[in-house]
């Protein structure tokens, strides 16, 4: 997930759209691989990459090439081919070849003996972790946005020449990627290679003048490359990330304590406002608000920094869970269309559970802070009536058309396989810990999946079958939890977290939050100066009165209304009171009477029990780690 954000305007000197120079001073030579790409930031001001694809042995019947419709990890059809602005084909004698478009993603070249060369330009102006972006300050791309797939030759090794931009304005640019170098120096332009197309598009590339820092964890080098203006304390960032990464490596490999990669790269894009990340096999692309990064001299852990660490932890956890342990249907992606699984509640939900859990177990945040984050997740899930309508298994399956394409009715219709999935993980984890006296946990299931599917994934390409998880959980823990999984993940039953949390020494409480004593049963926001309903919750006061998302409220009980006035008014009313509301739907004025609801008690508060029993204290220490003293020792 990633929020859109704006970059500061480019202020670098102008250059023409001239041809790119050869890479890193070395003369480019014909690739030894049969599929060879050359990518150049040909015109940063026009946001254009130029790619030259050479296919040594094209299909004699007419080679077909296609751009993916989606990028793994982000389950939405994006049709990256819509950003190809021009494309030409040449045969062996550099004569122009006819190129026919077959469908929205696919081209076919006229028959030729080879080599076949395609030269195309891709518009790159999407500042997200999912696509490509280029201006005079930096370039970023995912292979799915820029590298045409050579149909029938996806399993061939390929080489990529990454070219620097021409002109002095871009002097000093470097490259950050985990694509294996094949002549290019570390952080240099030049020749890289990939074992196949799947690997080629699984190493995003950043180029520009980024800040580079690094640390060791799990026996391997980790790097952080930060692009965008920032004043981050990179030493603190590396210290904290090293602890989180080491914690995750220990979870999966308690004996060897070895990371599953040769090296790892956090690509961080710091912007004014933004949040998102996308996982890859040995790197991740993150986008964050620059103020979320810790600054030099900052001592405390701000909410923003905690959320950044949670994001980094989430994407790093995917190195195991979804990049190597996968649903069987993801073992070989079909990049041209939706790939359906009911298991994203495991691959995204469990990852969302472990992301913050790894922060507390590594000691980067304390128990109280962790419980605060957990309470926020519980509150968020409880506020959405959609959890009673859709299971997280259904939500996983329909991610393509629902979770990833949300609208005003989504809170009423969708259960988040991220947030609710993480609570399913919590409920399973605590159940296992409680029933086995702390001898087993969800960690054992993660390790079993890792040993069975993850460790050798790239050699065997096998994944978790759609119905396999209950059996696997039993094998890992000795417990049959089929009924719980059926009801929590495949049904819409409430998760009954309260007794589970109490058994591990956490006191949960639920209140109405800061909504005041009475509720409209709607989410409101000020849009273009107008108090607008953004969601009318199913069956609640606003909807019963006939109000809808998009309606703008102008007056209540004869007085002009805005957000502040509404809050003050609701504070003076009680459930059952009636309000006369004047509102616009489009340009039509209407009025209605609302009978106020009691605000639902969805605001969770979690605190450590002041005097937990010995068993609860032991379970808590096993769950959250014993690095921080529990509040019990400080309580009166
Ligand atoms: Zn994720």
Residue 547 clears pLDDT 60, i.e. is over it: yes
Q: What is the pLDDT of residue 4?
A: 33
The percentage of residues in the chain with a pLDDT greater than 70, rounded to a whole number, is 93
Helix axes 469-477 and 442-449, enclosed angle (nearest 10): 110
What is the rounded average pLDDT of the residues 504-521? 89
pLDDT, mean over the chain: 93
Residue with tokens 């993916």: 68
- pLDDT score, position 32: 58
* 199 CA to centre of ligand 1 in angstroms: 19
% the chain with pLDDT above 90: 89
Identify the pLDDT of residue 19.
Answer: 34
Model pLDDT, residue 631 = 39
In angstroms, what is the span from residue 286 Cα to ligand 1's centroid?
11
d(Cα 515, Cα 511) in Å, to the nearest integer? 10
Report the separation in Å between the CA atom of 618 and the middle of ligand 1, taken as the mean of its atom positions.
Answer: 31
Beta carbons of 320 and 250 less than 8 angstroms apart: no
The whole model's pTM is what?
0.92
Span from the CA of 367 to the centroid of ligand 1 (angstroms): 23
CA of 458 to the centre of ligand 1 (A): 20
Residue 223: predicted pLDDT: 98
What distance in angstroms lies between residue 358's CA and the mean position of ligand 1's atoms? 15
The answer, yes or no, to whether residue 548 has pLDDT greater than 70, is yes
Q: Ligand 1 mean position to 277 CA, how many Å?
A: 8
Output the CA 418–ligand 1 centroid distance in Å: 8
Give 386 Cα–ligand 1 centroid separation in angstroms: 21
Say how many Å lie between the CA of residue 629 and the centre of ligand 1: 31
The average pLDDT across 224-252 equals: 98
Residue 9 has pLDDT above 80, yes or no: no
CA of residue 276 to ligand 1 center, whole Å: 9
How far apart are the CA of 279 and the centre of ligand 1, in A? Answer: 7
Residue 628 has pLDDT above 50, yes or no: no
* Residues 6+ positions from 289 with CB-CB distance below 8 Å: 270, 271, 272, 273, 274, 275, 304
Mean pLDDT of 566-578: 95
The pLDDT of residue 336 is: 97
What's the 538 CA to ligand 1 centre distance in angstroms? 29
**156, 35 contact by CB (below 8 A):** yes
Task: Please state the length of the chain.
Answer: 636
pLDDT for the residue 516: 75
Q: Return d(Cα 63, Cα 100) in angstroms, integer.
A: 10
pLDDT computed for residue 404 by the predictor: 97
Q: Are 464 and 453 in contact (CB under 8 A)?
A: yes
Integer angstrom CA distances of residue 315 from 73, 200, 348, 441: 10, 19, 10, 22
Task: State the average pLDDT over residues 520-536.
Answer: 96
For residue 29, is pLDDT > 70? Answer: no
pLDDT tens figures, 75-122: 999 999 999 999 999 998 888 999 999 999 999 999 998 899 999 999
Q: How sure is the predictor about 384, in pLDDT bands with cuts at 50, 70 and 90?
A: very high
Average pLDDT over residues 598-607: 93
* In contact, 49 and 141? CB cutoff 8 Å: yes
Give the Å distances, CA to CA, from 332 to 150, 194, 226, 351, 460: 16, 17, 32, 21, 11
- How far is residue 585 from each of residues 579, 588, 589, measured CA to CA in Å? 18, 5, 7
- pLDDT (mean) for 135-150: 97
Q: Note the pLDDT of residue 2.
A: 34
Does 471 have pLDDT greater than 70? Answer: yes
Task: Measure the CA–CA gap between 623 and 433, rounded to whole angstroms.
Answer: 8
End-to-end alpha carbon distance in the chain? 43
- Pairing verdict, β 158-162 and 35-43: parallel
pLDDT digits (tens, 9 = 90+) for 148-201: 999 999 999 999 999 999 988 788 999 999 999 999 999 999 999 999 999 999
pLDDT for the residue 217: 98
Q: Where are the alpha helices (DSSP H) in 41-121?
A: none
pLDDT of residue 503: 98
Cα 325 to ligand 1 centre (Å): 13
CA of 350 to the centre of ligand 1 (A): 9
pLDDT in tens, 329-382: 999 999 999 999 999 999 999 999 999 999 999 999 999 999 999 999 999 999
Q: pLDDT at position 509, please?
A: 94
User: Bigger pLDDT: 26 or 315?
Assistant: 315
Residue 626 has pLDDT above 80, yes or no: no
**Alpha-carbon distances of 33 from 29, 114, 197, 559, rounded to whole Å:** 11, 14, 12, 74
Note the pLDDT tens digit of each residue in 423-436: 999 999 999 999 99
């Amino acid at each position: 997930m990633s929020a859109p954000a704006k970059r500061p305007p480019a202020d670098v000197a102008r250059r023409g759209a001239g041809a790119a120079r050869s890479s890193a001073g070395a003369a480019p030579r014909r690739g030894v691989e049969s599929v060879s790409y050359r990518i150049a930031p040909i015109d940063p001001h026009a946001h254009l990459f130029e790619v030259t694809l050479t296919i040594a042995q094209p299909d004699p019947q007419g080679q077909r090439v296609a751009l993916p419709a989606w990028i793994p990890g982000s389950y939405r059809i994006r049709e990256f081919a819509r950003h190809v602005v021009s494309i030409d084909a040449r045969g062996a004698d550099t004569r122009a070849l006819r190129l026919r478009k077959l469908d929205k993603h696919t081209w076919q070249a006229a028959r030729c003996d080879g080599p076949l060369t395609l030269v195309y330009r891709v518009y790159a102006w999407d500042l997200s972790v999912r696509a490509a972006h280029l201006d005079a300050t930096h370039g970023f791309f995912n292979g799915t946005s820029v590298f045409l797939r050579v149909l029938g030759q996806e399993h061939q090794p390929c080489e990529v020449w990454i070219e620097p931009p021409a002109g002095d304005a871009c002097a000093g640019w470097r490259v950050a990627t985990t694509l294996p170098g094949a002549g290019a120096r570390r952080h240099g332009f030049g020749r890289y290679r990939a074992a196949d197309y799947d690997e080629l598009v699984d190493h995003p590339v950043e180029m520009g003048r980024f800040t580079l820092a690094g640390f060791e964890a799990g026996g391997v080098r980790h790097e952080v490359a930060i692009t965008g203006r920032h004043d981050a304390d990179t030493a603190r960032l590396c210290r904290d990330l090293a602890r989180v990464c080491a914690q995750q490596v220990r979870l999966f490999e308690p004996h060897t304590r070895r990371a599953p990669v040769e090296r790892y790269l956090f690509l961080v894009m710091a912007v004014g406002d933004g949040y998102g990340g996308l996982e890859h096999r040995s790197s991740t692309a993150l986008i964050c608000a620059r103020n979320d990064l810790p600054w030099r001299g900052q001592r405390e852990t701000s909410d923003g920094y905690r959320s950044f660490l949670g994001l980094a932890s989430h994407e790093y956890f995917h190195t195991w869970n979804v990049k190597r342990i996968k649903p069987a249907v993801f073992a070989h992606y079909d990049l041209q269309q939706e790939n359906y699984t009911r298991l994203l509640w495991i691959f995204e939900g469990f990852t969302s559970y472990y992301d913050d859990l790894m922060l507390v177990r590594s000691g980067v945040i304390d128990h109280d802070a962790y419980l605060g984050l957990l309470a926020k997740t519980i509150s968020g899930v409880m506020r959405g009536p959609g959890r009673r309508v859709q299971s997280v298994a259904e939500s996983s399956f329909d991610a393509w058309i629902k979770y990833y394409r949300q609208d005003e009715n989504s809170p009423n219709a969708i259960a988040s396989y991220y947030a609710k999935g993480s609570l399913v993980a919590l409920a399973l984890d605590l159940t296992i810990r409680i029933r086995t006296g702390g001898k087993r946990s969800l960690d054992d299931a993660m390790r079993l999946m890792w040993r069975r599917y993850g460790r050798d994934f790239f050699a065997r390409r096998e994944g978790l079958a759609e119905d396999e998880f209950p059996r696997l959980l039993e094998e890992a823990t000795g417990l049959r939890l089929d009924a719980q999984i059926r009801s929590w993940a495949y049904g819409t039953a409430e998760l009954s977290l309260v007794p589970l949390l109490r058994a591990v020494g956490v006191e949960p409480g639920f209140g109405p939050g800061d909504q005041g004593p009475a509720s409209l049963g709607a989410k409101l926001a000020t849009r273009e100066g107008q108090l607008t309903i953004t969601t009318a919750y199913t069956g609640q006061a606003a909807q019963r009165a006939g109000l809808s998302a998009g309606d703008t409220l102008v007056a209540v009980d004869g007085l002009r209304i805005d957000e502040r006035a509404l809050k003050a008014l609701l504070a003076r009313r009680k459930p059952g009171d009636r309000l006369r509301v004047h509102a616009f739907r489009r340009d039509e004025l209407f009025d209605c009477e609302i009978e106020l609801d009691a605000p639902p008690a969805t605001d969770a508060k979690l605190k450590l029990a002041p005097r937990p029993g010995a068993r609860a204290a032991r379970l808590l220490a096993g769950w959250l780690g014993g690095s921080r003293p529990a509040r019990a020792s400080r309580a009166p």
